[in-house]
Structure 1
Amino acid sequence: MGLKVVVTVGGVPGATENFQDLFGNKLILELVAEESNRGTKTLDACLTGKNPNDIKYEAEFELPTEFGSVGAIWIKNEHGKETFVKSVVIEGLSDPLTISCNSWVHSNDDNPEKRVFFVDKLSCVPSKTPSGLKPLREKELAILRGEGAADVPRGKKDRIYDYDMYNDLGDPDKDSDLVRPILGGTDHPYPRRCKTGRPRSTSDPLSESRSTEVYVPRDEAFSEVEKGTFNLKTVFLALATATASLKNREDDKQFSDFTNIEFLFKIGVELPNLNDNGRLQEMLPRLFKYSESTQKNVLRFETPETIKRDKFGWISDEEFGRQTLAGINPLSITLVKEWPLKSKLDPKEYGPSESAITTEIVMGMIPGFSTIDEEIENKKLYMLDYHDIFLPYVHKVREQKNTTLYGSRTLMYLTPTGTLRPIAIELVRPPKDDKPLWKKVFTPGWDATSMWLWKLAKVHVLAHDSGYHQLVSHWLRTHCCTEPYIIATNRQLSKMHPIHSLLHPHFRYTMAINALARGALINAGGTIEMCFSLGKYGTELSSVAYDQLWRFDQEALPADLIARGMAVEDPDSPHGLKLSIEDYPYANDGLRLWDIIKNWVTDYVNHYYPEENLVKSDEELHAWWTEIRKVGHADKQDEPWWPILNTPKDLIWILTTIIWVASGHHAAVNFGQYDYAGYFPNRAPIARVKMPCEDPTDVEWEKFKCKPEDVLLSALPSQGQAIQVMAVLDVLSNHSPDEEYIGDKMEPTFEANPQIKDAYEKFKENVQKLGTIIDGRNADESLRNRNGVGVVPYNLLKPSSEAGVTGMGVPNSISI
């Protein structure tokens, strides 16, 4: 049988000289038969492409009939550099046979081992693996696990997936003040990250040394192939360079007035110490402008959507309440189920457990108040509760410069229009040494003093919510907890495994962005420490949240809503849940997306596991789930709430949860960051000064009485902090040009299977319908939390988006 094999290559890293390296070299291919007694066939594929953007290798060959079906292909790269192989297609058969590689193949000079790739249509559970491919399936997994590899620092071309603790957030060799606790283990429970193999630091043998390059397995790195691809690593480096000049630029100086803040959007800030002006403008045109008249770079921000629509909305209580349901942290609001509100902390250390928010205070704030029991029974009271998790850190945080902290509770009332109205804020400072417990409740007032104290109390609560959002709702619950799923999937599920194929698009770039975050955002001296209230205790607090609050079973959206009292099971309601607040944009859109994902996963799983015993007998699948629990989340391995994996139904729930977290959950807490927090008074990341009524001196109180606006500005971020956070949030809210959105691009293995292809087309259609449904909801004037004068429509779970900062779009993965 006369056949032709065509290998499409994306290129080699670097410039023209690397393309020249292609000439005179070749790829050696070795076809592998499905059945073990049919052998292999070796081919030399020669270059036929004409330029670096059209590189193909071809080989013509005869394949004996007795060879049978081709199941896999070995590739040996004889070039001096690694080569990105997109696909291998065997033509001349009744239907072309496709092998989608989409991976870097190392040079034979670097590693003489060949790379194996499996035919797309052979996605199968282990028990159905053709006999000729079983050894290859097992060998490839052993390579990815690093079996037999030396325990040395990993290099750029390595493909090893392994686990380690978060022992690289500090930098003790640089400065003793940059020592940070190891996250992971008994003292500070935490998920595991990818092992880099870097040596220990000299100053602290428990910590890993730091470097500018942080290892991730080769196929997890950001794309370097497609022309015009958004290179996030380069952008981060440019941003770090730009903000470096701002960190020491009058860093502690407050804004003189609110007009001064508006100048950031109208005039910008000069960056006099930067070179390569054109490159900065090219990479971040939204931020970096070049002034021909002054010959200097200017960092000028786009006006956030919230301020475009309502310049004074950030002041209002209505907007404060609305954003707990439709802002960037809609995951903290909880239903009040018991009264009085009580702390679970030790009263001997932290004072009486009962809240200072009394029935009398609530009675005075609610028109037509009946009894507290009736209000609770009718589900009218809701709360942001940052009391117990923050209170143990209050005095530690206050030892740092220019920041402060309280434990806080914010009580809200559900109005007849379905909106939340904040009615009381409790701020608490625990006792210490000669200072007694300080506990005070603030309410909206009708006099000037109480009105200004209320404004300041909201600044503190929003700083608490901003820190919790960034460290827990965002970093911990999406980025951090997903990394063990990625590691386990590559270590235990062969690329032939259908569940690997299902999960693969939802893990794109996550390990790479996490590595960048450890180097620039959550590290000692990074943006989170420098600009958020908790300072150097931020990641430690995320460990406390993981230990006390995180549960895999409650990462599923329906379970999360039920746990927070925001929904109850109801078979007669849409999605099987009745919401406590009907107009809850995150929940309404999220549940629709959850069901769409779950239906797709159900079709997929039921196709590959038509019988229940197939799940029980799948050794790769059980090794995967066991490793996630016992290694990736080792500090939680003995918890009773881990789902048992015995049936297709169990598997569907587990997979839907993982995909939801990587797509919908992350999109909801990430892509609105600039629109909602870019104008930082709306969501200040830090409250720098204590309330003026806490242990006031005559001078402090007099200053507050004479110029309350100045006290408010002193509580907000300094100029350097504000600019740094705004720049980072702009980047984090950005969709890259090569973003892959949920329900858009079909994986090659899906397309190779007619039943799965049909199921995916249905999935894609349902995802597209969701966009129309969301548009309709945003146009509904009865939904006051997403429609109204000056209100930003809720688009964060609208599935697709243009590139850039749009406040919408649900990527498949945590790609930024």
Structure 2
Amino acid sequence: MVDYIVTVFTADLLNATTLNNVHIKLVGTDGESKRTWLMGLKGLASFFRGAESCFTVNCSTSLGKLVLIELDKNHLPLFPEDSWFPAKVEVKSPEGDTYTFPIYRWITDCEVHRFREGTALTIIDDTHPLGRYARQEELQQRAKDYCWHVYAEGIPHCIDAEDPLSLPCEVQFSFTKKTEFAYDAATGLMDLELKGLADYKAKWTDMDAIKRAFWYKLSHIPNYVQEHWKEDAFFSYQFLNGINPMMIQRCTTLPENFPVTDDMVFLSGQGSLTDEMKKGNIFLCDYKLLDGLKANTINGKKQYLMAPLVLLHKRPDDTLMPIAIQLKQTPADDNPIFLPTDSEYDWLIAKIFVRSADFNEHQLNVHLLRTHLLAEVFAVSLLRNIPMVHPLYKLLIPHTRYTLQINVLARVTLISPTGIFTQFTASGGEAMTTILKRSLSSLTYRSLCIPEDIADRGLEDVPNFYYRDDGLKLWDIIHRFVKGVLSYYYKKDTEVQDDPELQKWISDIFEHGFLSQAATGIPERFTTVAELVKFVTMVIFTCSAQHAAVNSGQYDFCGWMPNTPSSLQLPPPTKKGKTSKEKMLQTFPDVNVTVKSMATVWLLSKHSSDSVYLGQYPEGHFSEDTPCKLIKAFQGQLKVLSAAIKARNESLEIPYTFMDPAEVENSVSI
């Protein structure tokens, strides 16, 4: 007889405990053990939350190298069936070898569940018949659990789930996340002390009334926004370091539909647009994606959503300033080009229409499509096509945490026919789907890779561009980490080419995420290790750093409504000299629209207490020394970058914290 020492680790999570009987079977290259009841000295406490319990499994002979374990549980007569969350199982063999079996998932039934030994294996390296069989069986079950669904034609496909409870348990929120999110969602207006205004369908009558609604939960940045929102310098700053740094690009030739002249922007012939463009000092923001849309109707009133063009100039002192705004795409006598030399409220209302357009562009294209929906595609394809034992699964699964549930919630509560965004934004209704379709059709792989995106937009040397500075450093750190891990498992390009699971993963992403549009530049298959490394880097960057950059500051920059109105209810001026403070107040969204939007961006900016930040891997999916050392090196580099960002921010009037690794979550979870 030989003994195997089995140690079972139950996760330290709320409700992770089971009072059911747990059984195990060890399966090795030379045989398998009997199904053994794991009963120890701790009794029912053996599988309490956070417990580490040891057991002995007797076998007549050695089982050889362990390949997998089988776990199942069944309830006692007086106890109901419950859910259990084992973290991992460690087995010490009679030969002195220790095998680790990562689990990190809920077991909710009495079925047999198989888990592979922790060594990462591609299908090429997984040569044992038992391993191959378990691999195939796992993916067959996953294909049933994670099905594709077409939410709307022309946008990325999603998980087939009507509500969070219809998702597999392993991808649902934890009890902590679920409770906190539900509480915050239910009490958002109350927490902001806005409950009495939520149904008030009147216009704002003065700025002091808006301030009284906004006074609560102010920190440095929201307070700064309230004080400086009218200023040209702050208006321009937000194109670089606000929540939408994706619109601005260097302008080398004026668009034909934006007929700005030298006399408009340079007084007394003191400059030339042509000369300034040659020097690289002119920048453009073009919201053409919003052109021709049918705006929403809110509180029975037609809303207005423009597709503006904005010209900016970098001055000799490196400040970026707006010099011209055209609110519609087609030049016309009733579509004037607004200038800083216009009257105070003509110029201010033009900037307000730009900021409202930016809100809608940001929420649907930059935020929803380019982070949430793509992250969901990456996750569903991973879960359908890549088994737990595969190195790609181990590398990417932390970056899918909570993504499926938060997106299901978004479809139910935000963008559904009765959702908050549908009801209270200018782009709600049919315009929403049009924007998403246009956004996907114009999306490119290069624009998802920050080094190429920055180069393509000509922004390599723009001063005080912290999104670029921090983002490029983060991309480089992530890329080196991904390259180290994947190069350990794929030594040659042919190994990538010959991995059918890997190829099915990217093939599904191309088909279901980018609707087989070759013009996007998204690869249909991988041919080299370098291609794989770049794409996986983009996936991790999108799910972590990019999402943080366009999500975390939503309340900071959008909480003060005049800075970023979700909708506007009067048309833009067709002639100069007609706008007043009173006209501006009448243009702003109604009180209920304002406070509902404020509460929503506050909720979407909140981290939960169980958030997991970039580089933290509490679930030990990798067991080999090399990837574990690479993870530690990755964490060290992120700490160095975080310290550098914090040091820089000490001297900034507005600290840029959104891409500080210590503030960036691993996944799209909010």
- Alignment of 1:312 onto 2:297: no
Partner of 1:407: 307
Out of 304, 323, 328, the position equivalent to 1:423 is: 323
CA offsets 1:267-291 (integer angstroms, 9 cap, x no match): xxxxxxxxxxxxxxxxxxxxxxxxx
Q: TM-score normalised to the size of structure 1?
A: 0.76
**Distance verdict in 2 for CA 1:695–1:417, change over 3 Å:** closer
- Alignment of 1:191 onto 2:156: yes
Partner of 1:381: 282
Partner of 1:616: 497
Give ranges in structure 1 of 5+ residues lacking alignment.
Answer: 147-159, 167-182, 199-211, 267-300, 343-353, 567-578, 781-786, 801-808
1:626 and 1:310 map into 2 onto residues whose CA distance is 44
8 A Cα contact 2:543 2:667, kept in partner: yes
**Distance verdict in 2 for CA 1:635–1:359, change over 3 Å:** farther
8 A Cα contact 2:139 2:387, kept in partner: yes
- Alignment of 1:220 onto 2:171: yes
**Distance verdict in 2 for CA 1:241–1:321, change over 3 Å:** closer
Report deviation, 1:476: 0.6
- Alignment of 1:263 onto 2:212: yes
**Distance verdict in 2 for CA 1:245–1:811, change over 3 Å:** closer
**Distance verdict in 2 for CA 1:402–1:250, change over 3 Å:** farther
Report deviation, 1:695: 11
- Alignment of 1:32 onto 2:27: yes
Report deviation, 1:445: 2.0
**Distance verdict in 2 for CA 1:135–1:796, change over 3 Å:** same
What secondary structure does 1:634 align onto? coil
- After alignment, is 47-56 or 531-540 more displaced? 47-56
- Alignment of 1:794 onto 2:666: no
2:555 and 2:193 map into 1 onto residues whose CA distance is 20
CA offsets 1:204-236 (integer angstroms, 9 cap, x no match): xxxxxxxx6563232110012x6x886324533
Q: How do 1:464-479 residues align onto structure 2 when only pairs under 5 Å count?
A: 464-479=357-372
Report deviation, 1:590: 0.4
**Distance verdict in 2 for CA 1:101–1:51, change over 3 Å:** closer
Partner of 1:452: 345
Q: TM-score normalised to the size of structure 2?
A: 0.91
Q: How do 1:215-294 residues align onto structure 2 when only pairs under 5 Å count?
A: 215-224=166-175, 231-239=180-188, 249-266=198-215
Report deviation, 1:263: 1.6
Out of 135, 147, 151, the position equivalent to 1:162 is: 147
Partner of 1:591: 472
Report deviation, 1:397: 7.0
Report deviation, 1:242: 8.7
CA offsets 1:672-711 (integer angstroms, 9 cap, x no match): 1111221222222222212344599xxxx5xx5xxx2222
8 A Cα contact 2:106 2:169, kept in partner: yes
Identity fraction in percent? 24
What secondary structure does 1:439 align onto? coil
Report deviation, 1:130: 4.2
- Alignment of 1:773 onto 2:644: yes
RMSD: 2.9
What secondary structure does 1:748 align onto? coil
- Alignment of 1:491 onto 2:384: yes
8 A Cα contact 1:223 1:231, kept in partner: no
1:364 and 1:658 map into 2 onto residues whose CA distance is 48
Report deviation, 1:723: 1.3
What secondary structure does 1:411 align onto? strand
- After alignment, is 136-145 or 682-691 more displaced? 682-691
What secondary structure does 1:59 align onto? strand
- After alignment, is 543-552 or 605-614 more displaced? 543-552
Partner of 1:712: 584
Partner of 2:263: 360
1:745 and 1:616 map into 2 onto residues whose CA distance is 29
1:514 and 1:583 map into 2 onto residues whose CA distance is 33
Partner of 1:345: none
1:462 and 1:795 map into 2 onto residues whose CA distance is 22
2:477 and 2:412 map into 1 onto residues whose CA distance is 36
Partner of 1:105: 107
Q: How do 1:596-745 residues align onto structure 2 when only pairs under 5 Å count?
A: 596-636=477-517, 642=523, 644-693=525-574, 701=578, 704=579, 708-745=580-617
1:522 and 1:230 map into 2 onto residues whose CA distance is 22
**Distance verdict in 2 for CA 1:67–1:250, change over 3 Å:** closer
1:710 and 1:638 map into 2 onto residues whose CA distance is 48
**Distance verdict in 2 for CA 1:309–1:360, change over 3 Å:** closer
Query: In structure 2, what residue type is equivalent to 1:330?
Result: P
1:711 and 1:477 map into 2 onto residues whose CA distance is 35
8 A Cα contact 1:479 1:514, kept in partner: yes
CA offsets 1:88-125 (integer angstroms, 9 cap, x no match): 222466354322211111322xxxx41111122x2111
8 A Cα contact 2:379 2:400, kept in partner: yes
Q: How do 1:743-782 residues align onto structure 2 when only pairs under 5 Å count?
A: 743-745=615-617, 747-750=619-622, 752-779=623-650
Query: In structure 2, what residue type is equivalent to 1:30?
Result: K
2:330 and 2:273 map into 1 onto residues whose CA distance is 27
- Alignment of 1:516 onto 2:409: yes
Out of 123, 126, 129, the position equivalent to 1:126 is: 123
1:745 and 1:415 map into 2 onto residues whose CA distance is 45
Report deviation, 1:470: 0.8
The structure showing larger relative contact order (alpha-carbon pairs under 8 Å, at least 6 residues apart) is: 2
Query: In structure 1, what residue type is equivalent to 2:433?
Result: E
- Alignment of 1:321 onto 2:321: no
Report deviation, 1:779: 4.2
CA offsets 1:174-231 (integer angstroms, 9 cap, x no match): xxxxxxxxx22xxxx11000013x6xxxxxxxxxxxxx6563232110012x6x8863
8 A Cα contact 1:428 1:438, kept in partner: no
How many residues are treated as equivalent by the alignment? 659
Q: How do 1:346-357 residues align onto structure 2 when only pairs under 5 Å count?
A: 354-357=257-260
